[in-house]
Amino acid sequence: MPLDPSRTVAELHELQELTGDADGAQRVAWTDTWVRAKDWLDEKVPLEAKVDEAGNQWWTLPGRSEKAVLIGGHIDSVPNGGWLDGALNVVAGVEVMRRLVEEGKPAATVRLVNWADEEGARFGRSLFGSSAAAGSMADQDELRSRKDADGNALPDVLAEHGVDLDRALEARKQLENAAAYLELHIEQGPVLESLNLPLGVVLGTFGVERHLVTFRGQAAHAGSTPMDVRRDALAGAAKLELEIRDIARATGDDAVCTMGSVVTKPGIVTSVVETAECMLDQRNLDAFALGAMLEAAKNASERIAKGENIEVEWERIWQIEPILFDENLIQLADEAVQEVAGISRRLPSGPLHDAAEVSRAGVPTVMLFVQSLRGLSHTKLEDTKEADLELAVRALDRLADRTIAWVESRA
């Protein structure tokens, strides 16, 4: 049975029929629809599924070596999500597994994994299953207190799905023999489309610096306070928002800075703004450049505050280092993409993925991106040309073979 990439496309449509509606994909983790998607997936794989302590679903094809090549993705989606985000990786992985099963015992063990709750859509915490397997799962006390929009506690909902939060980290043993991790994903951005390329090789995931920047001025009457004596906190926020764009551009092509939220107080039309709380998100693949971007934004905010006669204060909300994928696997991925598409391109990933968690755990990792149309994702408008999807399945398949040989050569 040779590889049949058109079957992957047909199965992705089938999954969307089964678990989506007019508003898009509805495979939110820890819901009945998610369970239906997982059962559907299990029926497709010609191997028996095992579920680990974090709710991840594994299918294992034993090879001549216990060293394992992992192919991973996530079948969960955001509410009203796209038909490809996450699902492409696992459904393409199924097709590669079928081909391998048919050919008999591979040189290395090959395992397909469907990570539990990559999106974090219901409880606001993403990468649940992969961070448990990687041993990097955030504070479990904090997870215990999480509730969904209806007030259901996370541990209770997990228990309904057979997952005991206290034992989730036991999923770590799944990575014991992992020698390589491969993940195919839609790009979710506009870069490959702008270059007219179907496929790309991912260098790593951006480091992120996320801060709450608070400007403080003085509330004052909008009618009685002359312009030149105002201490307007919103002026600080507005000037900083414009300046972070220049800071990102000056840092390099890939750098991004976003002020995604500004909350003003007192927030009434008859008062000068006393406090403006800004959420600033900065990302780069280079840790040094990311640090420099942060410094530049801090310096700018202080200069702006001085000029406006207001104060500024920074508080870090979240941070993650850039995660660089494996040089050898990047090379193999380049070769695989060149073989099927004639041309390859290396690019960073702005979003985080399960691959970042696996890589952090020390497993050599690489990702393939396939072009997204209009760069849209997390919406029902998310789409990719079917011809490109088929090329992506072929590239994953070629990469799997090359990686099995690479793992064998290192044994």
CB of 55 to Zn ion, least distance (A): 17
What residues from 102 to 161 belong to the interface with Zn ion (CB under 5 A)? none
* Closer of 65 and 188 to Zn ion (Cβ): 188
Return d(Cα 105, Cα 153) in angstroms, integer. 44
Chain residue at closest Cβ approach to Zn ion: 86
Q: How many residues bind Zn ion (CB under 5 A)?
A: 2
- First-to-last CA distance in the chain? 29
Contact assessment for residue 216 and residue 272, using Cβ atoms and an 8 Å cutoff: no
Q: List, in sequence order, every beta strand (DSSP E) within 266-310.
A: 275-284
Position 82: which residue type?
Answer: G
H or E, element range at 183: strand 178-186
CB of 383 to Zn ion, least distance (A): 15
Contact assessment for residue 57 and residue 343, using Cβ atoms and an 8 Å cutoff: no
Residue where the block lists tokens 């979003």: 351
CB of 187 to Zn ion, least distance (A): 11
Q: Which two tokens stand for residue 330?
A: 């990047």
Q: Which two tokens stand for residue 271?
A: 């008062």
CB of 213 to Zn ion, least distance (A): 29
CB of 186 to Zn ion, least distance (A): 8
CB of 43 to Zn ion, least distance (A): 22
Indicate whether 193 belongs to the interface with Zn ion (CB under 5 A).
no
* Closer of 136 and 328 to Zn ion (Cβ): 136
Say whether 184 sits in a helix, a strand or coil. Answer: strand
Q: How would you label 32-59 residue by residue, b for 16+ Cβ within 10 Å and e otherwise?
A: ebbeebbebbbebbebebebbbbbbbbb
* Closer of 85 and 193 to Zn ion (Cβ): 85
Assess whether the previous peptide bond of 266 is cis (omega < 30° from 0).
yes
CB of 354 to Zn ion, least distance (A): 8
Return d(Cα 159, Cα 155) in angstroms, integer. 6
Q: Alpha-carbon torsion 344, 78, 34, 143, what sign?
A: positive
Site track for Zn ion across 57-96, x = CB under 5 A: ----------------------------xx----------
* Closer of 353 and 402 to Zn ion (Cβ): 353
CB of 162 to Zn ion, least distance (A): 23
Task: Give the list of residues 6+ apart from residue 305 with CB closer than 8 angstroms, or none.
Answer: 215, 236, 311, 312
Contact assessment for residue 247 and residue 297, using Cβ atoms and an 8 Å cutoff: yes
Q: Where are the alpha helices (DSSP H) in 174-266?
A: 191-194, 233-251
Say whether 168 sits in a helix, a strand or coil. Answer: helix
CB of 84 to Zn ion, least distance (A): 9
Residue 134: closest CA among 93, 165, 178, 90: 178
* Closer of 131 and 301 to Zn ion (Cβ): 131
**Residues forming the site for Zn ion (CB under 5 A):** 85-86
